[in-house]
Amino acid sequence: MAAAASLAGSNVVSCKPAAHFSTSADTRIAHFRPFSPVSAGVGPRISLQCRSRSSLASSGVRAQVATSEKVSAEAAQKVESPVVVVTGASRGIGKAIALSLGKAGCKVLVNYARSSKEAEEVSKEIEACGGQALTFGGDVSKEADVESMMKTAVDAWGTVDILINNAGITRDTLLMRMKKSQWQEVIDLNLTGVFLCTQAAAKIMMKKRKGRIINIASVVGLVGNAGQANYSAAKAGVIGLTKSVAKEYASRNINVNAVAPGFIASDMTAKLGDDIEKKILETIPLGRYGQPEEVAGLVEFLALNPASSYITGQLYIALNCYALPWLRTACNEVLWPNPSVKWSPLVFTIDGGMVM
């Protein structure tokens, strides 16, 4: 007697008893036969036959196992890894993000402006972990370079799924001493560069009606900082750009968010004097700088985790989830990432709990 059962709507299991089952304890072996989802127009099915062990030769078992393993490997290869473009990825936060996404299985284009050697090292580290990566030297404030960068990713991997706008520079000095060139250089790279990369990547994402864009802003874009009028203005612009673009592309299933780090360990913080560093750390409840990998963890969540698919147009400022007091009127109850936080606004802090 044969019985057929429908599982999960599309998976079909067919059980056929052998001619003789001597006892109820007689062992059965499952044989998996591949089902083509292409010809049927549905998801993969599994056909299962149950027979007496006595009716199967060991060579047949090995053949079936080998076939099953081959089919599984082929199916795994068909699953496309996300293609990611990370700007300013040769060092610091950009490097940490590129490595995090590369190790998570993404194909990563490592963009750099001048640090070619460092970028190559990032690429090699991703490949050493079994990932795919390539480097691209280009200035994101130049439209031609941005177009060429996106084309490089598409030529290599067919598309761009995720864009991380991280590239940035500083030209710090007091406003009264700031030259127009110092102002313009920072605005061009830190803000116009985000605009150009977002525009170019969005054109590609719109064709597939899906994509993720994460912009690296800064807490100074919210609160300002003496000697960084140009940098603060650019990062404030990135925050506004993020929210506007998120609204424009939401109907195309493209999520756009921003992450605003506080004091993160970097080449810049390493050059600070002991007195300045002490004063900075005194303002941070955790008593330490954040690490690039901690920022990368949040970016990875926004870029890859299915749980972030309903998040767009938001600014994340902290892994410690310390909310800015003046934003409490705009809060929503959110339990991620810190379950002890009973409320949280649209802004989260990545600044070790530092009060702004």
Calculate ∠ Cα 270-271-276, nearest 5°. Answer: 95
Residue with tokens 């972030």: 308
Domains of the chain listed by start with CATH number: 3-78 (no CATH), 83-349 (3.40.50.720)
Residue 86 CB partners (closer than 8 Å, separation 6+): 94, 97, 98, 101, 108, 109, 110, 111, 164, 166
Residue 112 marked ligand-binding: no
Residue 251 marked ligand-binding: no
Residue 52: enclosing H or E segment and its boundaries? Answer: strand 46-52
CA pair distance 174, 86, nearest whole angstrom: 31
- Structure confidence by residue, pLDDT tens digits, 272-317: 778 878 888 888 888 888 999 999 999 999 999 999 999 999 998 7
Residue type, 300: E
- Cβ pair 183, 191 in contact under 8 A: no
- Structure confidence by residue, pLDDT tens digits, 287-296: 888 999 999 9
Closest among 117, 95, 109, 112 to 151, alpha carbons compared: 109
CA pair distance 343, 96, nearest whole angstrom: 29
- Cβ pair 131, 108 in contact under 8 A: yes
Alpha helices in 129-178 (DSSP H): 143-157
pLDDT, residue 322, reads 37
Residue 249 marked ligand-binding: no
Kindly report the number of other CB atoms within 10 A of residue 223's CB atom: 12
Reported in sequence order, the residue ranges of 290-342 that DSSP labels E, i.e. its strands, are 315-317
Residue 333 CB partners (closer than 8 Å, separation 6+): 342, 343, 344
306: preceding bond cis by omega (within 30 degrees)? no
Residue type, 91: R
How many Cα atoms within 13 Å fall on the side-chain side of residue 310? Answer: 1
**What DSSP string describes 210-237?**
-EEEEEE--THHHH--TT-HHHHHHHHH
Residue 18 marked ligand-binding: no
Residue 231 marked ligand-binding: yes
pTM of the model: 0.71
Closest among 329, 334, 347 to 222, alpha carbons compared: 347
Closest among 256, 258, 214, 255 to 236, alpha carbons compared: 258
pLDDT in tens, the chain (356 residues): 444 444 343 333 334 344 443 434 443 333 333 333 333 333 443 333 444 444 545 566 566 656 655 555 444 444 589 999 999 999 999 999 999 999 999 999 999 999 999 999 999 999 999 999 999 999 999 999 999 999 999 999 999 999 999 999 999 999 999 999 999 999 999 999 999 999 999 999 999 999 999 999 998 999 898 899 999 999 999 999 999 999 999 999 999 999 999 888 887 777 777 887 888 888 888 888 899 999 999 999 999 999 999 999 999 874 333 334 433 333 333 333 433 333 333 444 444 444 33
Closest among 217, 261, 220, 209 to 238, alpha carbons compared: 217
Residue 11 marked ligand-binding: no
C-alpha dihedral sign at 206, 207, 209, 212: negative
Closest among 229, 230, 218, 226 to 184, alpha carbons compared: 230
- Cβ pair 88, 112 in contact under 8 A: yes
Residue 90 marked ligand-binding: yes
Residue 75 marked ligand-binding: no
- Looking at the annotation, which residues are catalytic? 231
Residue 51 marked ligand-binding: no
